[in-house]
Structure 1
Amino acid sequence: MTDMLAKQLPINGHIWQETLHWLPSDEQQGLFEQLYQGIVAGNRQVNLTRITEPDGFWEKHLWDSLSGLAPWCEPQKPEWLPTVKTVIDIGTGGGFPGVPVAIARSQWHVTLLDSTRKKIAFLQTLCEQLGLTNTTFLAERAEVLGRDPKHRAQYDLAMVRAVGPASTCAEYALPLLKKSGFAVLFRGQWTDEEEDLFVGALDTLGGELVAICPWETPLTQGVRHCLYVKKVAKTDNDFPRTVGMPAKHPL
C-alpha cells in the first residue's frame, strides 16, 4: 500500500456539526473513507481530481458537496424546502456532489450524469464496491438528456457543481426538474451583477431564485455560494438548446 493510500480522512465531527448541523454516522464515515481511497487509487487510470491530500479532499469534495444540503439539516427547516426522492448530479466528474449525497441521504435515489463514459464506468464500479444501492449512472450530455422524455421533468432535485456559468447550469438543470423541483447550483464568488443576469435567464427557463447561501470553507476560508432555484413554470421545449450551445452562448 502506498503512503498516499495509507493516509486517512480526518473525521472533523465538530466542524460538520457546527457548520452544517449534521454529523456522519460511523457507517457513513467508513463509506467516506472508502470513497477517498477508491478515488485516489482510480486517479491513476482516470483523471478524477487534482485534490488527493486528506484535508483537501475532505473540505473540497466531501464538505463542499454536502454544503448544498444545508437547508435539509437546519433545526428549523425553511418553508420552501422541497420533499426529495429523486436527484440528478449533472456533470458529476469524479462523483461530486452525487456520491457524498448518496451516502448522506440513503433514502434519496441519486443519478450520476457525466458525458465521459470512462468516469461513469469507474463510478459505477466504485459505488458497487461501496454497497450503494441508491445510485444510477448515465453517460450522456445534459443537453441530450434534457430532451429525453424518460428524464425530462422527472427529478425532484438537480445539483450542478463546477460545470460553467450559472445560467448554463440552470439550462441543464431546469428541463430535468418536475414542477416545484429545485436546482442547487454550487458557485464560488457571487456578485449582484451576476445575480441580475441570472434572474433574467431563469425567467426564460421557468425558474425562480429562492435563496442564496453564502459559505466560507472551514479549513481554508474559501468563498462559496449555493443558489437554490425553484422550477415555477414548465420549461419551454426549446430548452435545453443543442449540444454545446448553453456553454458557448449562456442565456
Structure 2
Amino acid sequence: MNIEQFTQLLEEKGITLSSKQLHQFNRYYELLVEWNEKMNLTAITEKNDVYLKHFFDSATASFFFDFNQPFSICDVGAGAGFPSIPLKICFPELKVTIVDSLQKRITFLENLAKELELENTFFYHDRAETFGKNPEHREQYDIVTARAVARMSVLSELCIPLVKQGGVFIAMKAANAKEELNSSLKAISILGAEVEKSYSLTLPFEESERNIIVIRKNKQTPKKYPRKPGTPNKMPLE
C-alpha cells in the first residue's frame, strides 16, 4: 500500500488527512525503522507493508466505531504504538494513554510523541495487571484498545477493568476471532461487560482477515480482577 492508496482508502471511509497528518505518518515510519535497528519493535519494516499492516490496519477500528470525539483511550500492550498512535494522528482530539511492560518501547513512544508533536499522550511502563488495579486508571477510560496481544479471555481480564461503565473495550484480532470470542463470553460477563458487536473485514491488497470486536461495559468489574501478574495468562477465565 503506497501513500496515495493509503490516503485514498482512508478518504473513502471519511478520514481526510491534512499535509501535517501525512507528514506525521511519514515521520512515524522513519522513526520506527530507525529505532528498530536498536531494538525489536516490529518485524515489518518495508514502507508499503508498514502503511498497510500497521497504519491502515490500526485505523480500521474507526470504520466501525466513531472516534471523532475527545475520548480518553488506553492502549494495552501497544508495542510500537498500534493501534492508538495512528488513531491519534487521524483523530487529534483523542487523549491517548499507552501502557507497556517494556521500558525501551515506552522510551521509543515518548520520543515519537515529541517528534510528531502529539498532545495529550501519556505513557506508562507497567504490567496491565497492576495498572488495572491502580485507582488513577481503573475504570477511567472511555475506550480501551488492544491489538493481537493475547487470546480474548486473557485480553478481557487485562482490559475491561480499565474501561469506565458505559465505555467500550475494542479488541482487534486476526483470524479465528469467532472461536476465541465464543470461549471468552463467560470471562467477559464476569468482568462486567457484554459483546455489543463483532465486525469482520479483509485487509486490502493482501486479503487477510481482520476482526474488530466491540465490548460494552455495563457494570463495575469485581475488585479481584485483574489477578496478579502472569495469572490471567496461566489460568484464563474460561
Q: TM-score interval w.r.t. the shorter chain?
A: over 0.9
Among 148, 152, 163, the alignment partner of 2:134 is 148
Residue in 2 that maps onto 1:23: 16
Query: 4+ residue stretches of structure 1 with deviation over 6 A?
Result: none
Aligned pairs for 1:15-164 within 5 A = 15-18=9-12, 20-72=13-65, 85-164=71-150
Equivalent pair of 2:163/2:217 in contact (CA under 8 Å): yes
For the residue of structure 1 that corresponds to 2:171, the secondary structure is: strand
State how far apart, in whole Å, the 2-side matches of 1:184 and 1:228 are: 5
Partner of 1:205: 191
Matching residue of 2:153: 167
SS at match of 2:64: helix
Q: Distance in 2 between matches of 1:52 and 1:32?
A: 14
Aligned length: 236
TM-score, structure 1 normalization: 0.89
| TM-score, normalised with respect to structure 2 | 0.94
Structure 1 residue 223, shift from structure 2 partner: 0.5
Distance in 2, matches of 1:57 and 1:151, equals 31
Work out the CA distance in 1 between the residues paired with 2:212 and 2:70: 17
Contact 1:155 1:178 in 2 (8 A): yes
**Partner of residue 14 from structure 1, selected from 5, 8, 16:** 8
* 2: CA distance, partners of 1:144 / 1:89: 15
Q: 1:21 and 1:158 mapped to 2: Cα distance?
A: 23
- Shift in alpha-carbon separation, 1:82–1:153, aligned structure 2, 3 A: farther
SS of the counterpart of 1:11? helix
The answer to whether the Cα contact below 8 Å between 1:10 and 1:54 also exists between their aligned partners in 2 is no
The gaps in structure 2 that reach 5 residues or longer are none
For residues 56 and 230 of structure 1, the distance between their equivalents in structure 2, rounded to whole angstroms, comes to: 32
Identity %, equivalent residues: 32
Over residues 110-164 of structure 1, what are the superposed CA-to-partner deviations in whole Å (9 max), with x where a residue is unaligned?
0111000011011101110111112101000000000001110110000001210
RMSD over aligned Cα atoms: 1.8
State the distance in 1 between where 2:218 and 2:232 align.
21
Residue 246 and residue 84 in structure 1: after superposition, are their counterparts in 2 closer, same or farther (change >3 A)?
Answer: farther
Q: For the residues of structure 1 that align with 2:178 and 2:127, how far apart are their CA atoms?
A: 30
Unaligned runs of 5+ in 1: 1-7, 74-80
Which whole-Å CA distance do the structure 1 matches of 2:33 and 2:143 have between them?
28
Once the two structures are overlaid, the 10-residue window that deviates more, 9-18 or 97-106, is: 9-18
Are the aligned partners of 1:120 and 1:139 in contact in 2 as well (CA < 8 Å)?
yes
Contact 1:15 1:218 in 2 (8 A): no
1:84 offset after TM fit, Å? 5.2
Code of the residue aligned with 2:49 in structure 1: it is G
Contact 2:177/2:211 (<8 A) preserved = no
Note the alpha carbon deviations across 1:200-245, whole angstroms, 9 max, x for none: 1111111110011101001200011010000011100110011011
1:11 to 1:223, Cα distance in 2 relative to 1, 3 A: same
